[in-house]
Amino acid sequence: MSNGLPPLPHPLLAALAGAALLVVVQQQILERRPPRLLSLEPQVHSSGPAALDLRFSRPLGRASLQARSRLQPPLAHRWLGSETTLRLLLQPGQQVRSPLSLELAGEDRRGRSLAPQRWHWEPRPLLLVVAEVEGGEQLQIQDHDGRWQPISPIWRRIPSVEPLADGSGVVVLAADHQGRQRLWKRTLRPRSLVRHPATLGPPQLGSLHPLGPEGLSFAHLSSNRRGDLVLQWGSQAPGTTVTRWIEPDGRRHDLKLPVSGPILLLPEGEGMVVPTPDGLELRSLRGALAGATERPQVLPGSRMLAAFCPASGQALLVRHWPDFRRSLERVQPGSAPITLWLGSEAVLAASCSPNGDRAWMLLNRWQAAVANELVRLDRTGRIDARLDLRAWTPEPGMPMVYDPVADQLLLTLRRDPRQPARAALVDGRTMALRILPKPVRQALWLPGG
């Protein structure tokens, strides 16, 4: 019985049949091809010292990767994930002391082997400092062999520095020799994960370009692992302030927010912590665009964000009480804060391990014999270690930053008010203090990317 439609022309039938045959042939070819590694990226915020994210062209067996791949030095690790996306995670409790070599091998579900390949990986961050040099101040990084490399011009003064959390650059507020302040970005190309060991090393320098107008009176900077950057600045004209979000692709948005202090981006995602006169608000970048409406989470009271514990989604807050006491709180979005410590001492800085099992506080006891002390707390808030800094004094306003790769804290300390400050390293396990000899104004970690 005819359906009333005219028969298809023979050339069209032949074309359709040929297309179907081509699809079948392509599928057969693809199924017979061995699996390929499509991407390999360092993952900074993990529950262990470091991690690599891998994406393959077809599902690979996790047990096969575990059995056939080799990591040198042979640090304890495990493979996570399934299908085409997996993660190599270094187990917690280890310190990375040298670059790593990964010999990658495995099979897919059909028994076809991944072409063996070797990667060289340097998960340790680099030391980034504002160095005092003849004629002013300069950004410098220290390679793991001890050599120093300048990555900026010499400016009269560098009040503020923000290493981008994805390792792609550094943003600075710098003053020229006429005293005019401006924001600059130094682009960096990381070389922390390479195929050939000879190319493993500090990042290559990219462009240096301004991010805002001249004549700024202040600037606050924050970034996240996605590559987002939030800039807050005020010009010398009264009442002129700008909060700008720069996306990873360079798109710029001015945010209309009631802000009473520096905004800090969450390490992952597009969330941000916004200080307001009523307390701390958790907002999203998209929701803060002009015209967008959202109901932010609000944490009332006089609190200051001290540090993120990124693998656990937690943060440390310093709370100021009306009776002049201070407390250290651990908080997770959607949950009430948990008080870890309460006392009359001033909390100069705080930091935590990625999974939040350890926290450190830098305390100033102005009425006691031990003036400045670093204490370590366990997950319950019990102090399990102390370090008397003795004659060393923390630089006002400088952060204390934790490096989970080598399990160490970085501080900026000064012994004599008439002498330059020094970068200082504190072992996270032993609490041993090591003062570096180079004169600096500020010390930070530059992620490897």
Taking the C-alpha atoms of residue 374 and residue 383, their distance in angstroms, rounded to an integer, is: 10
Long-range contacts of 10-14 (CB under 8 A, 24+ apart): none
Q: Which of 334, 224, 205 is nearest to 285 (CA)?
A: 224
Taking the C-alpha atoms of residue 111 and residue 95, their distance in angstroms, rounded to an integer, is: 36
Q: What is the pLDDT of residue 14?
A: 61
Residue 62 placed within a domain: yes
Q: 129 versus 418: which is more confidently predicted?
A: 129
Q: Collect all residues with Cβ–Cβ distance below 8 Å to 164 and sequence separation of at least 6.
A: 170, 171, 223, 227, 229, 447
| Residue 75 domain boundaries | 37-41+51-121
- Laid out side by side, the sheet with 346-352 consists of 346-352, 358-364, 372-378, 383-388
DSSP annotation string for 370-383: S-EEEEEEETTS-E
- Asked if residue 45 has pLDDT above 80, the reply is no
Q: 276 versus 3: which is more confidently predicted?
A: 276
Q: What is the pLDDT of residue 195?
A: 95
Q: Where are the beta strands (DSSP E) in 3-125?
A: 37-43, 51-56, 70-72, 77-82, 85-90, 100-104, 117-121
Query: What is the mean predicted confidence (pLDDT) over 379-386?
Result: 95
| Mean pLDDT of the residues in the chain | 89
Q: Collect all residues with Cβ–Cβ distance below 8 Å to 200 and sequence separation of at least 6.
A: 99, 120, 122, 191, 192, 194
Measured CA angle at 352 (ends 326, 164), to 5 deg:
110
Q: Which phi and psi (to 5°) does residue 178 adopt?
A: -95, 0
Residue 351 placed within a domain: no
Measured CA angle at 289 (ends 285, 294), to 5 deg:
75
> Total domain count for the chain?
1
**Any idea which residue has 């006089």 for tokens?**
302
Q: Confidence band (pLDDT; 50, 70, 90) for 352?
A: very high
Residue 113 placed within a domain: yes
Residue 84 placed within a domain: yes
Q: Confidence band (pLDDT; 50, 70, 90) for 238?
A: low
Residue 21 placed within a domain: no
Query: What is the mean predicted confidence (pLDDT) over 432-444?
Result: 96
Residue 388 placed within a domain: no
Q: Which phi and psi (to 5°) does residue 277 adopt?
A: -60, -20
Rg (CA), the chain: 26
**pTM for the complete prediction?**
0.88
Using CA atoms in the order 12, 15, 20, 24, what is the torsion angle rounded to 10 degrees? 170
Q: What is the pLDDT of residue 370?
A: 62
Coil vs helix vs strand at 197:
helix
The answer to whether 410 touches 444, Cβ cutoff 8 Å, is yes
Taking the C-alpha atoms of residue 22 and residue 68, their distance in angstroms, rounded to an integer, is: 36
Q: What is the pLDDT of residue 23?
A: 52
- Asked if residue 25 has pLDDT above 50, the reply is no
Give, in order, the Cα–Cα distances in Å from 402 to each of 98, 318, 380, 410.
18, 17, 19, 6
Residue 83 placed within a domain: yes
The answer to whether 391 touches 417, Cβ cutoff 8 Å, is no
Q: What is the pLDDT of residue 253?
A: 93
Residue 70 placed within a domain: yes
- C-alpha atoms less than 13 angstroms from C-alpha of 117 in its C-beta half-sphere: 14
pLDDT-above-70 percentage for the chain: 90
Query: What CATH number is given to the structural domain containing 114?
Result: 2.60.40
Q: Give CA 432 to chain center in angstroms.
A: 25
